[in-house]
Amino acid sequence: MDSEKEQELEDKIFDETSSEEATNLAQDALFAEAREARRQASMPYIDHLIDAVVLDENGNPEFTIAPSDQVIIERHITYPSGASRWLDTRKYDVESIDGVTGDLSLYDPEMHQAAMSNFITGMAAGYKFKVPEKGVRLRGRGKSKPKRRAKAVKKSDGKRGNPGKPGIRRIYNVNKGTICTRLKGIAYVAPLPTQALEGEKLEVSAPTNGSVIVTHPIAGWSEIWPMREGM
C-alpha cells in the first residue's frame, strides 16, 4: 500500500473515531441531563409547612424551633449566572442554636451524623426552614405533597398574630410538667392548671408587662402566661 492510500485510510479511521466519540459524548450529556431532570422532579413539596424562621419587629430573622425539636431544611445552590438548583431536603434534630450568628448545630438521624447550618445566611441563599408535620415524608412513596389548608386563624385585634413578635407558636412541656412557649428565646410559662397541651400550636400575643396572652385558635379560650427567666 502506497503512502497516499495509507493516509486516506488513516483519515477515514480518524473521522469515524471522532464521530463515534462525539456521539458518545452527546449521549452522555443527554443521559446526565435526563437524570438531573428526574432528580429535580423528585424534590418534595414543603411550602405548605409552617416557616421555622420569621422576622422580628426589627426585620431580623428569628429561629422559632427550640433545641431537641426537629427542622426541615431545603437547600439550593445559586450559580454566578443567577441560575438556582435544588440540592436536597432533609429533616434534622436541632442540637443548639446561636440566635446572634444564626449557627445551628444539627444531627441527621437518617445518616447518623452531625451537621451544621445557618438560618441567617441560609435564608439569604434561598434555603427553606420548615416546622415538620406528622406524616410528612421527604422521599420515596408517599413523600410530602400539598395538603388542604387548615382553617384560617381568626383575625387578631392588632396586638397579636404578627409573625416575629406574636403569632402561632409551639407549646413545650419542660421540667416535669411545666408548660411553656418562647418568644425570642424568652420562656412564658402557663398557669396551673392550664388548658394547653404539649405539642399544640397556639396563638401568642406580643409581650405586655412581662406576660403574653395565649389563645387557642379553634376552641377560643385564652390564658395569661408570665415570663420566666432562666428556662
Of 130, 148, 182, which one is at a domain's C-terminal end?
130
Classify residue 21: in a domain, yes or no. no
Classify residue 204: in a domain, yes or no. yes
**In a shared domain, residues 171 and 125:** no
Closest by CA to 53, choosing from 141, 125, 108, 5, is 125
Give me the phi and psi of 173, to 5 degrees please. -115, 110
**Residue 231: which pLDDT band, with cuts at 50, 70 and 90?**
low
Residue 28 confidence (pLDDT)? 62
- Percent of residues, the chain, with pLDDT higher than 70: 68
- Alpha-helical (H) ranges within the chain are 3-41, 119-124
pLDDT value at 151 more than 60: no
Classify residue 26: in a domain, yes or no. no
Domain count, the chain: 2
**Could you identify the residue written with the cell 383575625?**
155
Classify residue 159: in a domain, yes or no. no
| Domain with 77 in it | 53-130
Q: Residue 31: CA atoms inside 13 Å, Cβ hemisphere, count?
A: 6
Of 75, 105, 130, which one is at a domain's C-terminal end?
130
Mean pLDDT of the residues in the chain: 79
Residue 7 confidence (pLDDT)? 67
- Position with higher pLDDT, 150 vs 104: 104
- Position with higher pLDDT, 173 vs 33: 173
**In a shared domain, residues 115 and 62:** yes
**Residue 107: which pLDDT band, with cuts at 50, 70 and 90?**
very high
Judge whether 172 and 66 are in contact, CB under 8 Å.
yes
Classify residue 18: in a domain, yes or no. no
The whole-number average pLDDT for the span 40-51 is 83
Classify residue 218: in a domain, yes or no. yes
Classify residue 219: in a domain, yes or no. yes
**In a shared domain, residues 69 and 123:** yes
pLDDT value at 126 more than 70: yes
pLDDT value at 224 more than 50: yes
The whole-number average pLDDT for the span 192-221 is 88
Residue 62 confidence (pLDDT)? 92
The whole-number average pLDDT for the span 122-137 is 86
**In a shared domain, residues 116 and 66:** yes
Of 105, 130, 155, which one is at a domain's C-terminal end?
130
Closest by CA to 217, choosing from 123, 143, 150, 153, is 153
Classify residue 179: in a domain, yes or no. yes
For the chain, counts of helices (H) and of strands (E): 2, 14
